[in-house]
Amino acid sequence: MYLAVVIAILITMLLALIRAIKGPTLYDRILAANIIGTKTVLIIATMGFLFGRPDFLDIALVYALINFIGVVAVLKYFEYGGFHFSGKPNAKKPEGKD
């Protein structure tokens, strides 16, 4: 019965992959990548129960952390055009103060 859950997660990942391939904008593709990352966490947890080895849950926890950091980093890159400090990187210092 765990196999049915794994198959359902795989179907969802396939649908998200199709959306990532034919997505009209960039943000659709990032959304699909985010969905695939979350479903990977679920599939690792379920596969651990399917094989009788729930030790895989540590890997699932680490993958959830990496997925969140990766999505936020990619979004920051495309929103600000780089990884530089997002305040005012080119602002001049007020004169007279040093």
Partner 1 sequence: MELLFTLLEWLCLLLGSIFLIIGGIGIHRFPDLFTRFHAASITDTLGAGFILLGLMIAAGMTLVTVKLLMILIFIFITSPSSTHALAKAAIHGGLKPKLDDQKDNQEKPS
**30 counts as binding partner 1 under rule CB under 8 A:** yes
Q: Give the 3-state secondary structure of residue 7.
A: helix
Indicate the angle between helix axes 26-50 and 2-22, nearest 10 degrees: 160
**50 counts as binding partner 1 under rule CB under 8 A:** no
Contacts of 73 by beta carbon, 8 Å cutoff, 6+ apart: 83
Position among 40, 66, 68, 82 found at the interface with partner 1 (CB under 8 A):
68
CB of 66 to partner 1, least distance (A): 11
**59 counts as binding partner 1 under rule CB under 8 A:** no
By the 8 A CB rule, do 44 and 63 touch? yes
Cβ proximity to partner 1: between 81 and 93 the closer is 81
**11 counts as binding partner 1 under rule CB under 8 A:** yes
